[in-house]
Structures are given as C-alpha cells and as structure tokens.
Structure 1
Amino acid sequence: MRPPFRIASIDIGSNAIRYLSAVFESSHTFKVIESERYPVRLGHDVFISGVLESSVMERAVECLRDAAARMKRDLISHHRCVATSAVREAGNGKDLILSIMREAGIEVQVISGSEEARLVHLAVRRRIDLGTGQWLLVDIGGGSVEVSLCDGGGIIWSESHTMGAIRLLEELSLSSEEPGRFNRLLTEYVSTLRIHSVARNKKPAGLVATGGNIEELAALTGAALLEGGVFVIKTAALRAVIKSLWGMSFRERVETYGLRPDRADVILPAAVVYERIARMTGAREILVPCVGVKEGVVYDIADELMSERGHRTNVEAAVLSAATNLGRKYLFDQAHGEHVMLLALSLFDQTAALHGLGHGERKALMAAALLHDIGSFISFKRHHKHTLYLLSQSELPGFSE
C-alpha cells in the first residue's frame, strides 16, 4: 500500500486513556492530527479490589465512544486500541472490552508487559539513535514498570515489575495516611526493586525513560532539550525535586508546580522508582524522548502498511532475539533448538495453502520450536510440562496475553 495513511491509536492505561491520530507520509515520520488524554483512572479500584467499578467502566466506554467519533472526523483508515495492566488484571476486564465493542465499535487488544516494552521501543528508536550500544529502557505506567535492555535492532530482554505509580500509591496509602510514614514505606518498598543481572554487571550505554510522570519531571527539573525533542534530566536534579516533593502535601504540589490533580498524587512514587533505577545503573542523566505506547502503536501500524514483508521480518527478528536470550537463561541446547525451529518453519511454509494460518501463528511456532526443550532445566522427566510452565511465566516481546 502507498502513503499517506491516516492512523490512530488508543492506549487504555491505568491512569488515563490516550488517543492519537496522525498522517504518515513514510514509516519514519508522521504529523499529528489530534492528541487527547482522558483522565479515567482504571487502576484505582483494580489494584485494591481486583475489579473495575461500574461507574469507572461507564466513563471509559464514554471516552471510547468519543474516540470513535474522533476517528470518523479525522478520516482514519487504520487504528488499533490496546489495554495494559489495569484491564489485564481486572476480574471483570472482559466486561469492559465487550461494552466498548458493543457501544463504541472498537476492538480492544489486551497486551502483555513485554508487548508494551516492544511498542515503546519502536517509538523510542525513532527519537534516539540507539546505535550499537545496549540501552536500558524504563517505562513506568500506573500498574507496572517495564524494564528492557535494548539496542537499535530490538529488545534483548525485558521484565515487568508490579511497581506502577498508581499501584504504589493505592497499596501504600492503605498502610498509612500520615505523609511521613507513607514516604518511608515508599522508599523501603522501592529499595527492593532489582533488575536483570546484565544491566547491573554491564553498564548500559544510557538510560532512557518514558511515561507521563517522567515527562512532567523533565519540566520540574528544568531538563535541557536536545534536537529531536529529547529532554535530558540530571539525576542530581531529579533527587532535588524528590526532596522537594517529600515535604509537600497534595494541594501544595498542585499549587506550587501547577500539576494536574491526577498527576500530583502519583508523581512522587514514579520519581522514586526512576531514581532507584538510575542509582542501580550508575546513570548520571536520563534521556526522555516524550513518546510511549500510543506512538509505538501508530509506528507499528505504519510499518506493517508500508512494508509488510519488512515489518514481518523486523518483528520476527525481535521475537527470535528475545526467545534466544530466554533459552540461554535456562541453558538450552541452542543448536538443537534452532534446527527444530527451521524444520518446523519449513513445514509451515510448505503447507501454507493447506492450513491457511498467518504471520501470528508462524511467529508463535518459531518461538515454541526454538524453546521446546527449556523445561529440561527443571527436570528431563515430563520436561514438556516444565517448558509450558516456564513459557507461561515468561514474557516475550511480540506476544499479547
């Protein structure tokens, strides 16, 4: 297909729902038509009770109806709507998905933490030249923290931690209403965060952070703006802002810093997590490219539309790289796994006319064939069941729930 394309993305997050529509002339650049943020905090109830309250679901559906109207007005030809940790964890998340489909006509795809990381990486590499070095990419949402080691080619590994800003706020606020005690609990809890040994033992080329909170922190710290719209936060300045936030009430944060109410309460937990990761990696500065899941989604659609074969190759390369690193973690026989994978893919391709399966199934077969024996790490006996367990408890970029 030939550009231009009018593409939209909807990100149903834990702290807000975000809409982005854009015109793509090429797969690398786009012009924003419209960007909207709906302050619907789905994570407030989910991270305490495990379910979405009916009133919050109604507001979310109303926002999606508005997004559907915007897509019609913006003459959108292709769109994708994704949902992250709040919907993923909600016991009644499927009810929300069905309501959105019924009332707004929008299909919602619930994505995994590793898929979030892949989409964010797609957007980040358009803003920052990752080159041949290995970078640590940190995305803090309302429910989770996605930490990835990546380079220009893709994600080497990623891991998800349940230390999102809203989750921390809700869980720790239940333990203490007194600000001083909350601050101590927050510091102690975040200090338990650990990241992959590769990032600890081999210093990354740099630390890149995404999310609405880090963009706000860039403004509060007076971060320098580089060419291409990338901010640079000095970690010393971040610590100074954290110290200032420690001593402020919610109302003082709103009045002193001009923060939105739904940002003023979560910015401190997020800042503490960012600082913790910067401290662990020894980073003296944090790059903030001001992109996230919604930008990653539109880039993903554009890549697929403009170069279907190239897009497929890039996605498979990212999956293969992540799967290989997972296999090495469990000391698999890489040569054997690769041989089985090539045989399986050859059979798949040769019988395509018979089974009629597509790229998604081929991608799943590739990862499954490569990693079919990793259960032997636990025990050779019934190792196929151990493999199933290990894969079900791992996250691979390119796969949803």
Structure 2
Amino acid sequence: MKKEKDSQIIAAIDVGSNSIHLVVAQIDDSNNLQVLDTDKTSVRLGGALDAEKRINKQAVQKTVEAITHMKEIAAVHEPNFRAVATHAVRSATNQLELIQEIKKVSGIDVAIIDGIEEARLISLGMLIGLPLDKKTFLGVDVGGGSTEFIVTCNESIKYVSSLQLGAVTLSQRFLYEDKIDGLKPKKSDVVLMERYAAMQLAPVCSEVNKTSFDTAVISSGAAKTLALIHAKEQSQPLLLDPNGYVLTVEAINSIYNKIKSLRSPSAIKSQWGLDQARSEIILAGVCVLNLISNLLGVKKWVVSGFALREGLVLDTYRRLRKSSTNYRDGFDIRWNSILSLGKRCQIDTHQAEQVLKHSLSLYKGLEDSKVDTYDDDDDSLLSNRELLRAGSQLHECGKFISQQRFHHHSFYIISNSRLLGFSQKERLIIGLIARFWRKGTLRLIREDYKFLSARDVDRIQLLSSLIRIAVAGNRTRKGLIDNLYLSKIKSDFYLHIKLKNPKIPIRVDFQKIETEKSVLEKILQKDVHLEVLS
C-alpha cells in the first residue's frame, strides 16, 4: 500500500457471488466519504461452481478481465487498492488459481475474507451511509451466495453470523435447475425454496431474537431493487439513490407476492424495468428478506446504499492511518479481537506484553538499519508491525490445549479462529509466525500453502525469529530486561540488552538470547554481537 499521506483516496473492489463492484472514494478522519467513481460487472461466480466446487474457466476469465478493467478505471485517481473476495471464492476449490491469475494479469492482490469479516465490513459501510451513531442496529445483507447478520453499536459487536444462503445459489438450486437461464419456475419450486430457506434461517433468527436493537438496516442489490420497485409502485419520482429509503414489512410482503405471481425473469424485467441479471435472482433475494422479516418480527427496514465496499474503504483508510500509531490508543476491532482470543485461551498476559514490547523494539532496529523486512510487498496484507503484534500477543495461546507441542496448537487456534478485521491469509501468516518462533523449519510451508509467495515465507521467518529472541529475553519471566534493540554499525549487527536493574544478574536470559539469535543470524547472513547496557 502507499504511504499514509496518500491514503485518502482508496479503490475498493468487492468480488462477490453475483457481481464484482468497484468504488473509488476519498475519505477523511471524520468518515466523510466522497465517491469519485464506480463500476460493476455481473460475473455470477456463485453460479459458476461445478459439482467439484471449481469456478469454470469462462468465469475465471471474466473475473480477471473485470478486475483489470476496474484497475484501469481507478488508476487515474492514483489510489490505494484493496480487493476482497467473499462466498463464491472462499467456497471454490480452485480459489488459488483464480487469485494467482488476477495477480498475474492485473497486479491486484485479492484477499479472501470469511463471512464474519464480511458482516463487519458491511456494518462499517452502513455506519458511513446512515445516522447510526450510538444506536444499536441490526444489519442484514442478502448477497448472491450468503446472508450476513450483525447486531452492533458503535462498532461493538453484540452478535454476528454468516449463513450460506444467497439469491444466486437459491435461484440455481430451486428455480432454474442448476442453470439460471430465464425459464419460468414452477409454483412448487418456489414453495420448496421457501421451506428450505426458512429452515436455514430459523436457527440464526432465533439467536438474533435474543438480542435487542433500535433499527433494522438492509443492504445489497436485492434491498436496493426492492426500494426501486416500491417507489415505482407508489408512483414516486425515479429513485436515484435508495440510501435511507424505508420499507415496511407489509410493503415487502406485497412486492414478494407480486414477484411470485410473475415468476418469469422476463416478466419481472418487463414489469419494473429491471436489468436481466437482477430480474433472474430477485425472487430468491426477496424471499430471504421476507422470511427474515417475519422470523424477526421486524416492522420496517432502512435501506443502506453503502455496504461492503464502502466499509472496505473505511477499513483500508484506518489500516493505513494506524500503521504508525499504538493499537492501545482507543478501541480497535483487530486488536480487540486479538486480546479477546488471548483471554479465551488464558494466555500469560505479562509474558505476552514483554514479548510484544521486545519484538517490536527489535523490528524497529531492523527498520532503522535499512534491512529488507519484506514489507509492502502485498497490498492485501497488514503491515509487518501489525502481524508481529498479533503473533507476539498470541505466541503461547496453544498452551490452552496442551503444553506439549503448543506451538502447533497455536497455529491451529489462530488460523481457524474468527479474528475480526483479519483476512484468511493474514490469519494463516499470524498462525505460522506463532508456529515457527519456537522450533521447526519453514521449508515445508511452500508445499503446504502454495499461495504463499517466497517473500511471504521470508516475512514469516523474519518475524518469528524476532519473537524467538523476545521470548528468550524473558526466559525467567521476571522482566529483568528493560529493552532489546538491534543496530547496525558499519557492517556488523549488535543486539543491545538494556537491564532494568544492573545489580540483578540475567545469566539465564542472556544465555537463552545467545542461543536463539542464531536463526536471525542466518537470515541476516551476519553475526549478531550481544552488548549488555546497564
């Protein structure tokens, strides 16, 4: 990513199950967002998955072409790019091939996010578009491949869930016999779809009903289309911006019944002037929303014109702005999720704080010495500092399972936990940092995780070696060392050990540092000399 001074203009790309969206926007510290350009391509990846869950070649090609075109559109603004992929890509068995092809042709790094992170980003977009400050609101987004639910207030999440139930996948499964081709589905097919969707939605809605909220907000193409249809039904002027439009549950039910009576995509298109792609999936999308309304007892919904991609703009802006600040200065969703996982795993917080302090200090020494830290190589990744913070804080979380081979357990816990604010690849890298700081070789990584580049592996190895030294610096767990710092004098590296109390010996900690520095020496291809400072 570009440096902080250029971070006001951001190009966010959302690779969804139905469409690929681009928004180029300028944003400031007050969350004021000015949209500079947008683009949309209907690729329908959710309907391009075969029996083996592979995205077909035609859809891969269309996706690559769409993102390449979007990059060309956005380039005039010289933005910071960030792209994420949601349900269809995370479900695909050939997701790596798709992401690599996108990178090869367009140069854009696409991060796969899970449904929980998707819901969080959607809620950020809603906060930008609507006056929801200090309100507890329910946010629902009925997408092409999944439906997200979130109950939140001031970004403090009360409940969040993602359900594999979307307009494209439902249409393909029940209405169009595995191929959306414009045929008119049978009434019995619609009934089967309703029953299936209600069965899937019931458990999630039951959990949502245990919470309370002041406002119910809906986003996605289905929601905006509903607002457009309702405005036409009420003989209102052409609705150019659905943001803030209010839909009652009675209005939604009435429109759903009309869509059901038409059923045919061509008839739906003709009735309300919808585009072909939307007319083919609106029946399933409104079906889901109508069921949610009934199951939750929601009386009215407020439509948000802003969702995932606008939330991605805000989240990217914050990532760039926070790269030089302390996570502990105020609430931060990523740091809070790291602390929450650490608490659940009952980590030694004092040890974690010592390791965190020492590892960041060591990293700063490398930066000051102009050492290649393999940072800024992948636009979709957090900075090394943020990855190192997370890895340091959670470096012993695997002890919650067992002391024996706890570094293996740490990797499993981190890479499989739903850490809000982190992509799938970021969780994997943090997990590998926690896995390899203690022992083991990184030679197996590329074979097991082929989507990691050679520089990703170098990054993991470097950051894990710093944690290794930081842990050694508090081997006695007595906090005898005040600071560890690396410097380069001419061509030699020095590891400075500043004592808290010169009168207290640090023989055990010193010997452990002397042993563990060998990994860093291999990386630097230089000896690291120890110097004790009183």
Question: Would you call these one fold, judging by a TM-score over 0.5?
Answer: yes
**What CA distance in whole angstroms lies between the structure 1 residues aligned with 2:159 and 2:410?**
18
Of 200, 205, 220, which aligns to 2:214?
Answer: 205
Q: Give the match for residue 172 of structure 2.
A: 170
Larger gyration radius, structure 1 or structure 2: 2
Which string of whole-angstrom CA distances, capped at 9 and with x for unpartnered residues, describes residues 117-155 of structure 1? 222122211223334443221122111112112111333
Alpha-carbon distance change, 247 to 107 in structure 1, aligned in 2, over 3 angstroms:
same
**What CA distance in whole angstroms lies between the structure 2 residues aligned with 1:370 and 1:385?**
10
Q: Which amino acid aligns with 2:279?
A: A
Structure-to-structure mapping, 1:101-120, within 5 angstroms: 101-120=103-122
Q: Secondary structure at the match of 1:46?
A: coil
Q: Give the match for residue 255 of structure 1.
A: 270
**What CA distance in whole angstroms lies between the structure 1 residues aligned with 2:326 and 2:13?**
21
Range with bigger deviation, 233-242 or 31-40:
31-40
Residues 135 and 204 of structure 1 are in contact (CA less than 8 Å); yes or no, is this contact kept in structure 2? yes
Range with bigger deviation, 256-265 or 28-37:
28-37
Please state how far the C-alpha of 1:317 moved relative to its aligned partner: 2.9
Q: Give the match for residue 187 of structure 2.
A: 180
**What CA distance in whole angstroms lies between the structure 2 residues aligned with 1:25 and 1:160?**
30
Q: Give the match for residue 11 of structure 1.
A: 14
Q: TM-score, normalised by structure 1?
A: 0.84
Of 6, 24, 38, which aligns to 1:21?
Answer: 24
Structure-to-structure mapping, 1:377-388, within 5 angstroms: none
Please state how far the C-alpha of 1:165 moved relative to its aligned partner: 1.2
Range with bigger deviation, 171-180 or 24-33:
171-180
Please state how far the C-alpha of 1:204 moved relative to its aligned partner: 1.8
Q: Give the match for residue 189 of structure 1.
A: 196
Q: Secondary structure at the match of 1:399?
A: coil
**What CA distance in whole angstroms lies between the structure 1 residues aligned with 2:286 and 2:51?**
22
Structure-to-structure mapping, 1:84-163, within 5 angstroms: 84-163=86-165
Q: Secondary structure at the match of 2:317?
A: helix
Residues 126 and 304 of structure 2 are in contact (CA less than 8 Å); yes or no, is this contact kept in structure 1? yes
Structure 1 position 39 matched with structure 2 position 46: no
- Higher RCO by CA contacts (8 Å cutoff, separation 6 or greater): 1
Residues 17 and 144 of structure 2 are in contact (CA less than 8 Å); yes or no, is this contact kept in structure 1? yes
Q: TM-score, normalised by structure 2?
A: 0.64
Q: Which amino acid aligns with 2:250?
A: A
Q: Secondary structure at the match of 1:221?
A: helix
How well do the aligned residues superpose, as a CA RMSD in angstroms? 3.5
Which string of whole-angstrom CA distances, capped at 9 and with x for unpartnered residues, describes residues 255-278 of structure 1? 001111111121121212222222
**What CA distance in whole angstroms lies between the structure 2 residues aligned with 1:373 and 1:272?**
46
Range with bigger deviation, 301-310 or 274-283:
301-310
**What CA distance in whole angstroms lies between the structure 2 residues aligned with 1:242 and 1:314?**
48
Alpha-carbon distance change, 262 to 288 in structure 1, aligned in 2, over 3 angstroms:
same
**What CA distance in whole angstroms lies between the structure 1 residues aligned with 2:326 and 2:222?**
31
Please state how far the C-alpha of 1:313 moved relative to its aligned partner: 5.5
Q: Secondary structure at the match of 1:295?
A: helix
Q: Give the match for residue 506 of structure 2.
A: none
